[in-house]
Amino acid sequence: MQENNGKMIDAGAGLTLWAEDFGAPEDPTVLLVMGAQAQGVQWNDGLVRRLVEGGRHVIRYDHRDTGRSSRVDFAAHPYTVADLASDALAVLDAFAVERAHLVGASLGGIIAQRLALTDPHRVLTLTSLSSQPLGTDTAGAIQRAMAGLAPSPGQLPPPAAELLAVLMTSFPEPGAGLEGYLAARLPMWRVLHGPELPFDEEEYRAMEERVHGRAADIGAALNHALAGAAGDSFTTADLAAVAAPTLVLHGTRDPMFPPPHAEATAAAVPGARLVMLEGMGHTLPLAVDGRLAAEILAHTGG
């Protein structure tokens, strides 16, 4: 399954977002919300196909500053995670979807959690994948870890030191070209993938070639780090108000958000179900498509 060219959505204020859908529009909709700096096509085609075959209408889209969506002058027009959440609603509106099952990965999980609080009437179910609880000070945790400081009591663990080191060089200088881009990105994916499942470099190379080829400005996605560091008015305690049935999916070897992040998310949301995926890191390799699809289909089938 390849992208079907999709459509450009007017999200207001001069912002356009690329999105595409698969399956029958009359089926229950699953909105796939990717993480920071990631494009919608990084939801694997195999996962999308399995969800469609399971009777779901699936939408994936590019965040602002990624893929085919609008670039933003962040200095002149800064935005926050709240704005990224509004973008997700604009995508649903464009497909005339009143209520959807939200599946958010990493930062997408934070966006989905936020929508479950701000717009509960739009959310059928919530799946927080490879993410952390809303209100977590990730930027502060990284700063403390880089300074050699241990987490304070009660704080969630920071990303692995090996990951922090490789993230520093994960974006090449402008004009590096495709091979320079791949040389910077593949070491990051190796660490994010985790040490347990076999690492298929060609799989990640193909993914990044696709991402690079679709992006008008590959470096614009770095604005997501600025948006995430802007903070939020919600705290983890606010997740007690989430009414949507919630599934927390997480890899046992996630180096970005170690397993306590998933445990904290599940503990904060009433009735949430926690499923740990053995050996998975902070990526969605083809090898886990079947397991992810089965969990999402089961969760969204009520």
Q: Of these residues, 62, 65, 87, 254, which one is catalytic?
A: 254
Q: From residue 288, give the alpha-carbon distance in Å to each of 154, 206, 250.
A: 31, 17, 11
Strands annotated E in 94-182: 100-105, 123-129
Question: What is the residue-wise DSSP string for 219-276?
Answer: GGGGHHHHHHTT--S--GGGGGG--S-EEEEEETT-SSS-THHHHHHHHHSTT-EEEE
Strands annotated E in 150-220: none
Q: Which residues contact 242 (CB under 8 A, 6 or more apart)?
A: 113, 116, 117, 120, 126, 269, 270
pLDDT of 1:
52
pLDDT of 235:
94
pLDDT lower than 50: segments of the chain: none
Q: Where are the domains positioned within the chain? A: 7-299
CB of 34 closer than 8 Å to CB of 214: no
93 a catalytic residue: no
CB of 171 closer than 8 Å to CB of 222: yes
Q: From residue 131, give the alpha-carbon distance in Å to each of 33, 116, 126, 249, 261.
A: 12, 15, 12, 8, 7
Q: Residue 145 and residue 291: Cα distance in Å, rounded? A: 33
119 a catalytic residue: no
pLDDT of 294:
98
Run of H or E residues at 21: strand 15-22
Q: Of these residues, 101, 193, 261, 282, which one is catalytic?
A: 282
Helix, strand, coil percentages (3-state) for the chain, rounded to 5, are 40, 15, 40
Domain 7-299 part of CATH 3.40.50.1820: yes
pLDDT of 229:
80
In eight-state DSSP terms, residue 89 is: H
282 a catalytic residue: yes
pLDDT of 157:
94
Q: Of these residues, 106, 128, 130, 131, which one is catalytic?
A: 106
